[in-house]
Amino acid sequence: MRLLSVRPVGRLLTRLQPPSEKQVEGLSKMVKEHPLAPELVDLLVATERLPGFRETFLATVHALLRLRGGRPEARLTAEQLSRIEQPTLLVWGKDDPFGTPAVGAAIAAAMPAAELLVVPGGHTPWLDSADRIGPRIAQFLERCLASTER
């Protein structure tokens, strides 16, 4: 991902690996969400083939990352996080390659109304575990609704 943040390298890498089932399989392995359901693979390939996707994806990667990791200007500070008062449920994959559950715990601790839900999976655990995660999200939303009705 860091290599993709370097504009000429990112353009070259995305040309060398155009959208395909094999490319999505490699991406799912990288984010530790392999294997994906065939329907999700088809959806991701179709999404990556949309006009403008490649340019938008590379622009997003460049805005968030650099070779040495995350761009400091894109990070939220603990002080900024402390001002988020909206109830928030952070769903964190236990094996997320972009940040351990300890990172999620630090973010949740900085926010006054945040909860952390650590679940099996990688960077996008809800893609393959909606049946397990969905009820927990529903409980969180019900609690939030109940607290606003008081």
pLDDT tens for each residue of 64-97: 999 999 999 999 999 999 999 999 999 999 999 9
Look up the CATH number of the domain holding residue 132: 3.40.50.1820
In single-letter form, the type of residue at position 92 comes to W
Please provide the average confidence, as pLDDT, over all residues in the chain. Answer: 95
> Are residues 40 and 9 part of one domain?
yes
d(CA 24, CA 38): 11
Q: How many domains are there within the chain?
A: 2
Residues 77-109 as b or e (16 or more Cβ within 10 Å = b): eeeebeeeeebbbbbbbeebeeeebeebeebbe
Q: Where are the alpha helices (DSSP H) in the chain?
A: 7-16, 21-30, 38-48, 53-64, 78-82, 101-110, 130-149
pLDDT above 70: percentage of residues in the chain: 99
> Are residues 87 and 53 part of one domain?
no
Q: Which domain holds residue 143?
A: 76-149
Joined together, the tokens standing for residue 144 give 């939030």
Place of tokens 């359901």: 37
pLDDT digits (tens, 9 = 90+) for 51-67: 999 999 999 999 999 99
